[in-house]
Copies of this chain bind each other. A is one copy, B any other.
Amino acid sequence: MATLEDIGVSAFINILTAFTFLLAFAILRIQPINDRVYFPKWYINGERASPRRSRNFVGKFVNLNVMTYFTFLNWMPQAMRRSEAEIISHAGVDSAVFLRIYTLGLKIFVPMTVLALLILIPVNVSSGTLFFLKKELVVSDIDKLSISNVRPESIRFFFHIGLQYLFTIWTCYMLYKEYDYVASMRMHFLASQPRRAEQFTVLVRSVPHVPGHSVSDTVDHFFQTNHPNHYLCHQAVYNANKYAKLVRRRDRLQNWLDYNQLKFERHPEKRPTRKIGFLGLCGERVDSIEYYKQQIKHLDKILISERQKIVKDSKYILPVAFVSFNSRWGAAVCAQTQQSKNPTLWLTNWAPEPRDVFWRNLAIPFVSLSIRKLIISLSVFALVFFYMIPIAFVQSLANLEGLERVAPFLRSVIELKFIKSFLQGFLPGLALKIFLYILPTVLMIMSKIEGHIAFSTLERKAASKYYYFMLVNVFLGSIVTGTAFEQLHSFLHQSATDIPRTIGVSIPMKATFFITYIMVDGWAGIASEILRLKPLVIFHLKNMFLVKTERDRENAMNPGSVDFPETLPSLQLYFLLGLVYAVVTPILLPFILVFFALAYLVYRHQIINVYHQQYESVAAFWPHVHSRIIASLLISQLLLMGLLSTKKAANSTPLLVVLPILTLSFHKYCKNRFEPAFRKYPLEEAMAKDILERTTEPGLNLKAYLADAYLHPIYRSFEEEEVLVQVRVDKHQTQTVSPSTSEISSPSPPRYVHHPSSPPRYVYHPPSPPHYVDHSSSSQYVYDHFSQPQYVDHPSSPPQYVYDPSSPPHDVYH
């Protein structure tokens, strides 16, 4: 049991770590060489030119302006300065709403912390039971501040029960307000959005096979019959998964070719060679450049034949289509209604926006979807409860003897005593570490196997799987000793009322553990997030070995995006911890507050400067956030009930039983009231937008607008390939196919982003030219645009912090 001093030491270490990270970030970010790592969003939005055009050579890479080092924490006020509307226009609704989760946390927990500390700490401390019990139990100082210190059967428990009521009501009230706000934000955003392809388009799956008719004919005929006044056109979907795989392989080969060519340019005395065997480790040695050129040529031939097959062979057309309507109303009707007598045919759903489509899963036949779902849910269950079994198995293999057998040349090193003892302590943990590191990827792959067809859905599903894992293995696993499987076993053999009691009893004892957890995972973890160590290293590696053109450099820069599958579940874990410990050990709350505040600042900064969302789901994840916080409330109520029943405050049970019922009915009410806003598109809204558009743009050719919105990415790559071949002939060194790390993701979406016909991004183009860069003081190194007091002078230009990409790039380093 940790004492207060232990906590203090831990806090000191973690604060120091976090501070180190922040300091490193502050120094690294003002180096021009790292500019693309820490401000990629600006480059993508076209709001910042290259920082390299500085006068002297050193200034290109290192920031020589000493003044900027003294204001190294100024990113914090900068991050705060933007309004929510500006964040929406800059980074999208998803990001803005994501930030609102943190402010929601603050709004819920600040008053809670104040009340709990003011009321419960005196109540708990003055009880002083634990002083008498000291001999039996090992009691920490933290426990003296917790509910454990209150004598059984004490009347003081009514303080705790009363506060639990108050906290529940307060949380529900804040949740209601927030849901209301987010729903209206979503509605407002959808209403004010310009014309977009997905507003007119419905994804139709399970198109039945009519003998003698192509899929296109069937779709045309069905919708011309059943939506005669609204149907416009449709786009067939091709099964291009094999082709995409080939393209990815070609990209990898192109990367190697680029790398070798660059190597040869820099050291022209020696042509690079490689072995042609397995992984380049064995076989004949050949000239690398020639080898890769040949490989690419060979692959190009296969690609062309595959491409022709796709276009010509009707087998490659999937029984899926993007059906477009001539009005939003028509699309809304089709998306929300049942089309066919057989409810497994002609399934209609809103089409995800083109960037969001996960093309690979469109090829999954509908019949296999339910089987896939069953298998994946069983696997998730197994993963959550039995994940220790394979790890223990791997651990038993991964010992020193095994290592020596595999790699005999390491024997001399391993036999050194120091290294041996280090490895013996380190190896068994390694399997677990690796597992936890790859877990989000595994969960994402599972979601992909489940067959969801949009990235946003995939991320939400992966997030929910990760949440279950965290809940069982981090929360319950830390409270109840033993593996999750052992817990499952003991829970199955306990009565329904015993389970909350067993967990409830051990909750106060685990407070110190969770405080440390919050500091390590929350404080230091968030601080490391802002440092972006991995993208920093990868960017510089790529820069060194692959980048030849400006475009390559742009592709090497990996902005990333809010990692919903990981951040949402861990956020929800903090809500759970806060709500559970609010009444039990209120001293934990300030630690959570610090986490929420710090994370809010960091993510705000990242969203403004770094992240580039791949899609816009318009806060589609909010219902999940809401319902998981409700679930946390329910868990906290049940555990308090269990805890109090062991305190022989039996008469409190009826009082507390009311709470879950009320919470559940509140949840149901919210579901009815707000969730349709996230699932359906009201006809009133659709009609209003249709009418507005008809009056403002009477001569609009919608068909032309929609013609290639949902064109399969294969066509785009065909076009690009054509360009590529042409370009090759003229100029050997220009490469249009971008080098990229091998990803599991689909072939298409990254291509969309740069394509000129992709729908308009949410970037403001203010009418007045921006004045942010002080051209008079041109000799000065003006880096932090936002720290200029100049903005105050131009209050009339509404979105103040955004560059106009149409104006020529500013040369800030001249």
Contact = CB atoms under 8 A, between A and B. Distances in A.
A225 B674 contact: no
A266 interface: no
Interface stretch (A350-358, A495-503, A611-619): A495-503
Contacts of A340: 682, 684
Interface string A666-693: 0011001111110011111101000000
A344 B673 contact: yes
Nearest to A348: B683
Contacts of A343: 672-677, 680, 682
Interface string A201-224: 000000000000000000000100
A378 B676 contact: no
A673 B494 CA distance: 38
A441 interface: no
A378 B333 contact: no
A665 B338 CA distance: 23
A397 interface: no
B668 A226 contact: no
Contact of A665 (B187, B222, B370, B496): B370
Interface string A645-662: 000000000000000010
A344 B672 contact: yes
Contact of A498 (B226, B493, B668, B677): B493
A584 interface: no
A69 interface: no
B341 A187 contact: yes
Contacts of A273: none
A337 to B, nearest CB: 4
A374 B338 CA distance: 31
A498 to B, nearest CB: 7
A158 interface: no
A344 to B, nearest CB: 6
Interface in A350-382: 370, 374, 378
A225 B492 contact: no
A338 B680 contact: yes
Given A665-B374, A672-B370, A685 B341 contact: yes
A616 B332 CA distance: 31
A684 B497 contact: no
A331 to B, nearest CB: 11
Nearest to A668: B370
Contacts of A370: 665, 668-669, 672
Interface string A318-342: 0000000000010011001111110
Contacts of A226: 329, 683-684, 687
A337 B341 contact: no
Nearest to A228: B687
A337 B333 contact: yes
A491 interface: yes
Contacts of A674: 343
A233 B252 CA distance: 65
Interface in A273-328: none
A778 interface: no
A421 interface: no
Given A374-B665, A378-B661, A673-B344, A683 B497 contact: no
Given A370-B668, A673-B344, A683 B338 contact: yes
A193 interface: no
A225 B687 contact: yes
A229 interface: yes
17 contacts: A225-B684, A229-B229, A332-B337, A333-B333, A333-B337, A336-B338, A337-B680, A339-B684, A341-B684, A343-B672, A343-B675, A343-B680, A346-B684, A374-B661, A492-B496, A494-B496, A495-B495
The 9 closest A-B pairs by CB, nearest first: A343-B676, A338-B680, A336-B337, A493-B495, A338-B682, A226-B687, A494-B495, A333-B333, A492-B497
